[in-house]
Amino acid sequence: MNNFPAFLHLKLGIYVKYFVDWLIKNFGEFFEALTEALLWFLGQVESFFLWLPWWVVVGGVCFLGWRLRKLSTGITFALLMLLIGSFKLWDATMATMALVLTSVVFSLVIGIPLGILMAYSERTSTLMKPVLDAMQTMPSFVYLIPAVMLFNLGKVPATFATIIYAVPPVMRLTELGIRRVPREMVEAAHSFGSTAWQTLVKVQLPQALPTIMTGINQTTMMALSMVVIASMIGAKGLGMEIMIAISRLDIARGFEAGISVVILAIIIDRLSQGLVHKFKFPE
């Protein structure tokens, strides 16, 4: 009586497997082309970051910290970047930055238009919200399985899994920002003869920009949180350093790589928050 009935056994996972197998069989060439495109883009971004002299990156971070926050913040950021360099993790940090930036770019390309569509269509919003709930609550390790099956091992499946994990916040907050634009402003734009596109571009998006920027901040932080997990399927960078340290029980190496991820997260978070405040409109 205490055991769950054996006849109530729903094999839902097998249908997901069948679906992935169907995708590979019928759209294998598409996924190969997508892999090549993502790999090329990621390679270009990583090559650019590795090509930049270290002092240019440190100076750029210092300048952004000064302009978006204050001078003391910029100096602190520069010192933190120098600390990462002193750990001999500069190249790994640049590889991580390339992965995060690529994932965020594709997340924004996908998320912002879908967020706009959700704001305009109640039906789309109703359909997408459970999907977004599942994407945000699903254990991040689960994303690695279809990513590896569709794209094999390496940087591309890591980027794909990171995009899936990171895209929900920007979609939700884009929808929220547009829905919170006062109806009077939209009606005024229509009364002056603005088309739906003009109203979106010139009224709704500018007014929703602070909220959208908050979504971009959250998407960036979630992409960075996938660094260690993505290293399990071949993504190089600070995550790989942490994985190696775990496999070897190397406390020193793990601590240096871990604190580097923390430093990177703090810098990205503060800079993106500075952008949010910069785009806020006066009340």
Which position has the token pair 């601590």? 255
Per the prediction, the chain carries an average pLDDT of 83
pLDDT in tens, 98-125: 888 888 888 999 999 999 999 888 888 8
| Cβ-count burial 68-105 (b if 16+ within 10 Å, e if not) | bbeeebbebbbebbeebbebebbebbbbbbbbbbbbbe
pLDDT in tens, 10-33: 777 777 778 778 877 887 788 788
pLDDT above 70 as % of the chain: 96
Tokens of 233: 């399927």
- Contacts made by residues 136-142, CB under 8 angstroms, sequence distance 24+: 136/168, 140/165, 140/226, 140/229, 141/229, 141/232
Lowest mean pLDDT among 140-154, 191-205, 240-254: 140-154
For residue 209, name the pLDDT band (cuts at 50, 70, 90): confident
For residue 162, name the pLDDT band (cuts at 50, 70, 90): confident
**Residues 74, 63 contacting (CB under 8 angstroms):** yes
pLDDT in tens, 123-156: 888 888 888 888 777 777 777 777 777 777 777 8
What is the per-residue pLDDT for 1?
Answer: 59
For residue 56, name the pLDDT band (cuts at 50, 70, 90): very high
Say what the pTM is.
0.83
Lowest mean pLDDT among 39-43, 51-55, 279-283: 279-283
**Residues 150, 27 contacting (CB under 8 angstroms):** no
Q: How far apart are CA 109 and CA 189, in angstroms?
A: 26
Q: Does pLDDT of 54 surpass 60?
A: yes
Q: Does pLDDT of 283 surpass 70?
A: no
Structural domains in the chain plus CATH codes: 13-51+87-278 (1.10.3720.10)
Residue type, 4: F
Q: Does pLDDT of 282 surpass 60?
A: no
Q: Does pLDDT of 278 surpass 80?
A: no
pLDDT in tens, 167-177: 889 999 999 99
